[in-house]
Structures are given as structure tokens and as C-alpha cells.
Amino acid sequence: MNEPVKIKEAARMLRGMQDLLILTHKNPDGDTLGSGFALWAALRALGIRARVHNEGEFPAKYGFMTGPYFERAEEFEPRHIISVDTAAVKLMGEKTAAAYARRVELAIDHHGTNEQYALSLTVCDPGSASCCELIARLIDALGVRMDTYMANCIYTGLATDTGCFKYSNTTADSHLLAARLIGLGVDFAQLNRIFFETKSRGRIRLEQMALAGIEYAAGGKIAMITITQEMLKRAGCDHSDIEGVTPIPRTIEGVELGVTLRELENGNYKVSLRSFELDSAKLCALFGGGGHKRAAGFECSGTPHDIKAAVVAAAEAEMAK
Amino acid sequence: MNEPVKIKEAARMLRGMQDLLILTHKNPDGDTLGSGFALWAALRALGIRARVHNEGEFPAKYGFMTGPYFERAEEFEPRHIISVDTAAVKLMGEKTAAAYARRVELAIDHHGTNEQYALSLTVCDPGSASCCELIARLIDALGVRMDTYMANCIYTGLATDTGCFKYSNTTADSHLLAARLIGLGVDFAQLNRIFFETKSRGRIRLEQMALAGIEYAAGGKIAMITITQEMLKRAGCDHSDIEGVTPIPRTIEGVELGVTLRELENGNYKVSLRSFELDSAKLCALFGGGGHKRAAGFECSGTPHDIKAAVVAAAEAEMAK
């Protein structure tokens, strides 16, 4: 894509709009919300009314974004619809998609899988680690001076989508933007504490229970944990807590394949594989599942004992190749 | 300090030296080793022989630094001694201090507490998050082109001392340097996996055992764990594993004071306090200990039950103020 040109085009479009609805993806993360609220604040600085929309609730940990927003939010009938960090219509959520998907004029995104559903313009740069990096450039193109609120929003997307600059998607540009945001007074230490160093009590309980039952196989190259419905009940966990526990087996020294079995409400098991060099997607395909090379999954019935034995046998065969 | 001038002066000194011993601090971390090996490589590029010295062993996880070093290391009788990231003579280790402390000509450091033990020049910038940031500037001042090996070493110190750019010591300059290092081909995703996403099996066992016994007080504002000698034996842990577990109680949502009791070999307890707003140093002073506002400790005798009760009583009194 010819990106700088498209950013300028997006800025020109936005300047001509009024009463915007900014769609964020369901199960919202730091990047979609950071993008949405930073853009809301920038438009507001230009006298353009906008609202940030999500199919569900805004999670409490993003209160530093939503607090100032709700103080100033205005009711109006949206005349223009745009989306941020949302690769596909189905990611908007059912109600949102039904109401607005066909009216999205501008989509700003960084997923290579963007479905190009926007009517007028899709600004999509898969080379950007976060959508917020594109929003920062859009704010510049709009001629808006970035304030600390916008900087905090942008930093949020940048930090959360890169695992705080840890992951391979981080670029030199990500760091250059972070340097600029620090210059703008972003409260990064406090934000990072919220995003990366805070676990719920339920999450702590679930971790403890899952680790108590950890099993190793293939001479320590495979580590497996099981999360049952009963454990979830006892721990008092929500979905995001489970997401935090799933990567743990792979973080253990010497482990090449981390396996997490999660009992579903219907009694089946959701099996999540995490690897480095081993192809998790290929392994999961053997069980009717799929995903990415380093993170894949499948669903199946059976006892944890049998499921683990089958995964270990398949993984050992693959490792022996 | 007049830092750019001092960096230039250090470069001038080093260019006139030959057969250098570079001292790193005991219990070496990523910053002291990254500083030492990056400087070794830069001096080598100038035809200056040097060795990196540590009182103990180089930990295996820094093999990407030590591997190429041991391949090329030469034996020689050191003629000049310098130190990196070492604030005090006692941090060199006993044997090292006895042999070399009085001969250190140049110290490069970033601790505000540097004891100014160097004979000729101390380059100390407490505003730098890592000593490696000073080494990067020194390499530039030496006129050496930074290669990927040096970049990996520098990144190591930068990332490990800032918690991968999470902590408040991170500066805009830290990010600008990271951007430059990525441009030099630093293998940051792999390095960060080693530093931040790998736990030993012993550490996993210790976490599980410690979390199984977690206790809350003050309506969830205090979380406490206990690590006994028996747990350490069962888990098969080393010192760095314990260090990784100590911060856990404070990471729990709603917790303002994290308390870790560790049974010592003599039967006493080392009590570590971690807080945000509450003054841990002040609390520890009540028990004859001390430290920083957010991280302090003390040693005492007694049963875990009584020690916890005393800490909770003191903390609740302080919270009520």
C-alpha cells in the first residue's frame, strides 16, 4: 500500500465528516481502544463530534481512557461510521455488524487479513506492530497537536500489542514513537503496571491449581496443564484469566511444546498448543484443528489422560522427524 | 556530571591502554555483562586486548555473549583495570576486590550511589536506565562501528535493566537507542524470550507451592507468601528463582503491600516487602531493616504466623494514617 498517501487521504476524509461513530472490535484490547479514544480526542480537538462504540463493555482497566471520554461524550445520531483495528465484520460483534457494518466508510487497521469491507478507504499497514502507530500518524496528518491523553491512548496500543516491545512485531518505528510519547509525558510506568504486572486473585488461584497438576513428557520437551470446569469455578475466573494461563507451559526452560487442556461446559476439551520451532498448526490439523505455527488449537472429546497421550505421541513423532 | 566530555575522556584513556581487565559485578546481570562484553568487542575492533572478569561463573543464559568471547579470549597479564556497572568495591566480590579494587583506573556506571573508587575517572550517569546506554555512547566516542554482537550485548543491558522498557527508569533515549539497535539487526525477540519468558522447572514448582499458601489481610490490600527451606529443597531452586517469586504478591489486583517470608538456613526469616504508595522502607525500619520506598526488607526470628501478624499490624497502622 502507498501508506503516507492513504493516511493523508484518511485525514482529508475525516476533516469533512461530522458526528462519527468509531467502531472497535469485540473483546476489546488495548490497541483497538487506544486507537478509538486517541482518534476521538483528536477529532474533538478539531470540533468534530465522535463516539467510540464497542459491542460489549469497556474493561475497567482502561478507565484512564474511558473516564475523560464519558465526561465529555455527547449523544447524537451517527452520520459517518469508521472502524479501527478491526480486520473483519464478524469481529465487530453481531449487533454492531448488523447495524453498522455496511456503512463503514473508512477502516484503519494493521492486520494483513483485513477483509477490505470499508466502502471508501482502507488504511491497512501490516508492518505496523499496532494500529495505534497508524493513528499517531493520522493525528499528525490531521494537524492536531498530540496531548497527554492521546499519548497515553497511543502508548497503550503500542505497548499491549508488542508485549511491551518484547515481541518480534516490534519495529524501530515502534521505539521511535515510544520515545516521542515519553516526551509528551505519557505515564508509561503506571500503564505498564496495569497491563503487565497485575493479575486478578482468580488468575493467581487458577495458576496455582494448574501448575499443581503440571506434567512433563518427551524428556521435558513437552509440558501440559489441565483446566477443568471445577477449577474455574473454585478459582472464580473469567475468560481473560484463562488466556493468561495458557502460555505458561511453553515458558518453562527446555520446553518446546506447551499444551493446555481446558474442559468446556459441554464436557469436551479445548486443547491449546504453543511452540517455538515445532509446527503447532500441523499437529492440531491431525486432530481437526488449526491455527498458527506457534499457537494453534483443536477441540475434542475424551479423558484428559487419553487426549494428552495422543498429543504426546503425535508431537514425539513430529519431533523425531 | 559533564557527561559527553567524560565519555570522550574515557574513550581517550581506553585508546591509550593495552591488556585491559574489565570487571563486572558479582551475581552478574544482563547490564553488567552486556556492558563488559560490548566494550570487550569494541576494544578488540581497535586491536586492544581485553578480558571480561567476574567473581563467579557467567550464567548460561548469556551464552550468546560468552560463546564468541571464549572462542577469542586471550591469556595475558592485565596492565589496566576498569569496571562497568559496579557501584562499590564490595560488589566486585571478595577475591576480585582484594586483587584489583585499588587498581581500577576507570569506572563506567549508572548508579547514583557509585562510591567513586576509580583512580583516574568515573563516568557515572544516574539518568541512564542502564550502564549499556553509556557503553553505546562510549563505543561511538571510540569511533568503532557497532556490529550485531555489540548491539545484542547493549540491548541485553537496556532490556533487562528496564524490565523491557516497562519501568519508570526508561527514558526517551532508551527507546531511541533500541530503535538504533533494531536497525543493527539485534535479535530482540529471541533475547526477550530468554530474559522475560523463560522460567526454570524449579521456579515453576516454587511458584506453585508459594501460591498454594498465599494469605490475604487488610481486606485484600496485603498479600503474603512464605518460602521455607523445605520448599526450596523440594523445588530444587537457586537464588535467582527466589528473586523471581518475591515480587508476585504485589502483582495481585488490589494488593498494596506484598510480603514474602523466606526461611534462612539458620532458621531466621528474611522478610521482603514490595509496595507502590506505602513506604516499605519505613515499615522495615520498625523491624530493624531498610531499603527503598517500594522494596525493602528485614531479617528476624519467630514463627511465620507471628511475623506476619506483626507486619500486618504495622502495615494497617501505616495505611490508616
Which residues on B lie below 8 Å from A180 (Cβ)?
172
Interchain CB distance below 8 Å, B165 and A164 = yes
Helix (H/G/I), strand (E/B), else coil: A183 = helix
Residues 278 to 307 of A: which have CB under 8 A from any B CB? Answer: none
**CATH entry, A3-196, from 3.90.1640.10, 2.40.128.640, 3.40.50.1820, 3.40.50.10900:** 3.90.1640.10
Which residues on B lie below 8 Å from A200 (Cβ)?
252-253
**Interval A175-190: pLDDT, tens:** 999 999 999 999 999 9
Res. B267: pLDDT tops 70: yes
Measured between CB atoms, which of B182, B199, B254 is closest to A251?
B199
Res. A205: pLDDT tops 80: yes
How far apart are alpha carbons A31 and A176 in whole angstroms?
A: 18
DSSP designation for B199: B
Least confident of A11-20, B169-178, B195-204: B195-204
Q: How much is the average pLDDT of B42-61? A: 95
Report the run of H or E that residue B68 belongs to, with start and end: helix B63-72
Res. B228: pLDDT tops 90: yes
Angstroms from B235 CA to nearest CA on chain A: 12
Which residues on A lie below 8 Å from B193 (Cβ)?
166, 276
Which residues on A lie below 8 Å from B192 (Cβ)?
163, 166-167
Res. A171: pLDDT tops 80: yes
Residue in chain B lying closest to A207 (CA):
B208
Angstroms from B254 CA to nearest CA on chain A: 8
Interchain CB distance below 8 Å, A196 and B166 = yes
Interchain CB distance below 8 Å, A198 and B168 = no
Q: How much is the average pLDDT of A250-255? A: 94
B290-291 and B295-300 strand pairing = antiparallel
Can you give the C-alpha Rg of chain B in angstroms?
21
How far apart are alpha carbons A31 and A51 in whole angstroms?
A: 17
B80-84 and B20-23 strand pairing = parallel
Give the contacts of A18 (CB within 8 A, at least 6 positions apart): A48, A49, A79, A80
Provide the pLDDT for residue A4.
Answer: 83
Report the run of H or E that residue A244 belongs to, with start and end: helix A239-245
Res. A74: pLDDT tops 90: no
Angstroms from A314 CA to nearest CA on chain B: 24
Which amino acid is present at B70?
F
Q: Do domains A3-196 and A201-319 have the same CATH topology?
A: no
Residues 218 to 277 of A: which have CB under 8 A from any B CB? Answer: 220, 248, 251-254, 276
Q: How much is the average pLDDT of B62-78? A: 94
**Interval A144-162: pLDDT, tens:** 999 999 999 999 999 999 9
Q: How much is the average pLDDT of A26-46? A: 96
Measured between CB atoms, which of B179, B189, B196 is closest to A175?
B179
In total, chain A counts a number of residues equal to: 321
Which region, left, alpha or beta, applies to residue B125 given φ > 0 means left and ψ of -120 to 50 means alpha? beta
Cell 506434567 locates to A215
Number of neighbours of residue A75 by Cβ within 10 angstroms: 6
User: Residue ranges of the domains in chain A?
Assistant: 3-196, 201-319
Residue in chain B lying closest to A197 (CA):
B251
Q: Of A142, A141, A133, A139, give the one whose Cα is nearest residue A175.
A: A133
CB burial readout B230-267, b (16+ within 10 A) else e:
ebbeebebeeebbeebbebbbbbeebbbbbbbbbeeee
How far apart are alpha carbons B85 and B111 in whole angstroms?
A: 8
pLDDT confidence tier of residue B143, bands split at 50, 70 and 90: very high
Interchain CB distance below 8 Å, A180 and B166 = no
Interchain CB distance below 8 Å, B212 and A214 = no
Angstroms from B40 CA to nearest CA on chain A: 26
Number of neighbours of residue B126 by Cβ within 10 angstroms: 13
**Interval B17-29: pLDDT, tens:** 999 999 999 989 9
Interchain CB distance below 8 Å, A176 and B172 = no
A50-53 and A20-23 strand pairing = parallel
**CATH entry, B201-319, from 3.40.50.10490, 3.10.310.30, 1.10.10.10, 2.60.120.480:** 3.10.310.30
Number of neighbours of residue A287 by Cβ within 10 angstroms: 18
Query: Three cell numbers at A23?
Result: 467502531
pLDDT confidence tier of residue B2, bands split at 50, 70 and 90: low
Interchain CB distance below 8 Å, B179 and A172 = yes
Provide the pLDDT for residue B242.
Answer: 84
Predicted ipTM of the assembly: 0.90
Measured between CB atoms, which of B164, B171, B252 is closest to A165?
B164
Q: What is the pTM of this model?
A: 0.91
Res. B240: pLDDT tops 80: no
Angstroms from B149 CA to nearest CA on chain A: 18
Provide the pLDDT for residue A2.
Answer: 58
For residue B146, CA distances in Å to A166, A270, B19, B44, B136 come to 22, 48, 21, 12, 8
- Residue A19, judged by CB atoms within 10 A of its CB (0-12, 13-18, 19+), counts as middle
Res. A239: pLDDT tops 80: no
Res. A1: pLDDT tops 60: no
